[in-house]
Amino acid sequence: MKPTIRAIETEFLGERFRSRLEAKWARVFHALNIPFTFEPEGFELEEDGQVSRYLPDFWLSTFGAWVEIKPESPSERERKLARLLHQGHGAPVLVVCGVPGKHFIQAYVNGASHGELGFLFECQFCHVIEVFYLVAPYSDDEWMSVSHLCQCGNASPLSTPRLHRAYAEATGCRFERLPKNMRRALGAV
């Protein structure tokens, strides 16, 4: 018999998430004061007479973007759903793959691969959190903002202590257990 696998439901801030991975990302958004709504709305998406149902994971209102969390690269069908949702709804649809913690993470924008997406960046001047992605997959010099929240024009794809902290918090990594040089880099020592 084929073994079955099921994600474990996890509760955070009174919300029940389908998987621990989604709950971890919710913790990241919470730690960074990014308002999120979990599965606010389902959609029927139609193309060539074929109707598919889609319930995206998160709506992030400050970015005006949908975020779908996947443990690994999305399938053809999942990429198609992201593209159709974007075409029908208008807002960007980001498929973010993997556990929070790496600053650059594999991601898809509206169903297309953009290589390693920075995803969450902090402007080191005005301190807003932005979503950035690479314009062309695996190019490393042309970044595009999804949210255009940084008005000072200084947001850059660099990691910051605030982001490190949020990732550490979300993944349950005890801050005190981080190596001393890392704690110093994060301004804690």
* Interface residue list for Zn ion (CB under 5 A): 123, 125-126, 150, 152, 154-155
Place of tokens 């990732």: 167
Distances (CA, A) of 177 to 69, 118, 174, 180, 183: 27, 26, 5, 8, 9
Shortest distance (Å) from residue 157 CB to Zn ion: 13
What token pair was written down for 81? 């759903």
Pick between residue 73 and residue 124 the one whose CB is nearest to Zn ion.
124
Give CA torsion, residues 33, 161, 64, 28, to 10 deg.
-60
Pick between residue 99 and residue 144 the one whose CB is nearest to Zn ion.
144
Place of tokens 């991601």: 107
Shortest distance (Å) from residue 154 CB to Zn ion: 5
Pick between residue 125 and residue 175 the one whose CB is nearest to Zn ion.
125
